[in-house]
């Protein structure tokens, strides 16, 4: 019998699978795994031998396997992980005030955004709950063993479009928020989407975390060229959905968080800045400008600092709080848009 990954099972699924009726036993298992980093049932000594035997026959606790890793000069770490014979990438980004883990939700991506390495290799499959949670558990254990600063923030911005793996991502986030597991604050978990409008409307029924919109354009014509998703869900429909989400949840503080990748001579002109202002006039927003990071075999280049600051100043002076994201892990191809799922 093939053993199942226990990390895929919440208490309801576990009860149905093995008739584990006593909730305290489930809580004991969780404690051993998530607090003690114990991944073998035989060492969970406050659980009866009979229960441990049942668990051992039916389940394994499966963490992703490390294929390779690189450490950046800025302290960021990128891992290539093998999960069920597929490669995913995750990034640990430490700073003075926090330590952020960027996780993946799919093997590859079907969005085909022109500026992103992930989509260039196509879509293979969704990650399971256990495979998503396993990324956090693996890094948490690594940091614990090496006496490094523990994870304070999770950004769901790695490989894949999270909302196209909706239920596995939502159930994973519930585990991230639950104090028995990781206990992250809802404002410390950020989900970035290219704009799957129906699932944005659906999201607020399930979780309350920070939502970020990957916009990257000030008009539909341009966005449709660089982000094919816009041909189905245009900018206004996307902004309306995002505004609906932030108005009905609390983590995003009633404003839409927008990522805007700065592409030289594509979307970074003064006209683009004023066009973006006009788009956002009815939507309380915060904009994060992102320098383009080289991914090879594309025609895009990075906007100059002068252009970026001109763009920033126009937005800030007109009431849109705007900042420029600092690149991290650039020397190991770990920055925004660079995760390919290919060893390099």
Active site residues: 89, 336
The DSSP 8-state label assigned to residue 42 in this structure reads: G
CA–CA gap between residue 264 and residue 269 (Å, rounded): 9
* Contact present, 310 and 91 (Cβ < 8 Å): no
CA–CA gap between residue 339 and residue 295 (Å, rounded): 9
Starting at the edge strand found earlier in the chain, the sheet holding 86-94 runs: 65-71, 77-83, 86-94, 99-102, 153-156, 189-193, 210-214, 256-262, 285-291, 321-324
CA–CA gap between residue 290 and residue 327 (Å, rounded): 8
Q: Over the range 269-280, which residues count as b (16 or more CB within 10 Å of their CB) and which as e? A: eeebbebbbebb
* Contact present, 235 and 267 (Cβ < 8 Å): no
Of 294, 328, 290, 297, nearest to 311 by C-alpha is: 290
Q: How many CB atoms lie within 10 A of CB 184?
A: 20
Which runs of consecutive H residues, i.e. helices, occur in the chain?
A: 11-18, 23-30, 49-58, 117-120, 129-145, 166-177, 197-203, 220-226, 235-248, 270-280, 305-317
- Provide the Cα torsion 201, 204, 210, 216; round to 10°: 0
Backbone CA torsion sign across 111, 134, 150, 207: positive
């Amino acid at each position: 019998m093939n053993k199942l990954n226990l990390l895929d099972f919440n208490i309801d699924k576990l009860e149905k699978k093995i008739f584990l009726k006593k909730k305290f036993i489930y809580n004991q298992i969780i404690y051993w795994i998530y607090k003690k980093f114990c991944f073998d049932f035989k060492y969970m000594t406050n659980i009866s031998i009979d229960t441990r035997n049942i668990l051992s026959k039916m389940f394994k606790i499966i963490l992703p396997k490390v294929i390779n890793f690189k450490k950046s000069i800025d302290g960021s770490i990128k891992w290539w992980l093998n999960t069920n014979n597929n490669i995913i990438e995750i990034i640990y980004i430490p700073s003075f005030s926090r330590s952020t883990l960027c996780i993946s939700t799919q093997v590859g991506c079907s969005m085909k955004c022109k500026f992103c390495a992930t989509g260039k290799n196509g879509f293979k499959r969704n990650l399971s709950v256990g495979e998503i949670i396993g990324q956090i558990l693996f890094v948490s254990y690594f940091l614990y063993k090496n006496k490094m600063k523990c994870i304070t923030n999770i950004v769901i911005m790695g490989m894949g479009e999270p909302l196209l793996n909706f239920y596995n991502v939502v159930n994973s986030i519930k585990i991230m928020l639950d104090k028995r597991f990781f206990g992250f604050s809802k404002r410390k978990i950020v989900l970035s989407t290219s704009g799957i409008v129906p699932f944005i409307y659906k999201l607020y029924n399930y979780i309350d975390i920070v939502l970020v919109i990957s916009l990257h354009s000030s008009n539909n014509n341009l966005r449709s060229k660089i982000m094919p998703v816009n041909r189905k869900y245009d900018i206004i429909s996307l902004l309306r959905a995002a505004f609906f989400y932030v108005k009905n949840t609390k983590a995003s503080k009633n404003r839409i968080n927008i990522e805007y990748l700065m592409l030289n001579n594509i979307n970074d002109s003064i006209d683009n800045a004023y066009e973006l202002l006009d788009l956002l006039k009815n939507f309380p927003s915060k904009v994060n400008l992102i320098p383009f990071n080289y991914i090879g075999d594309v025609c895009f280049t990075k906007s100059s600092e002068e252009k970026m600051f001109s763009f920033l100043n126009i937005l800030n002076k007109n009431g849109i709080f705007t900042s420029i994201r600092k690149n991290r892990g650039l020397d190991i191809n770990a920055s925004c848009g660079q995760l390919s799922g290919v060893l390099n």
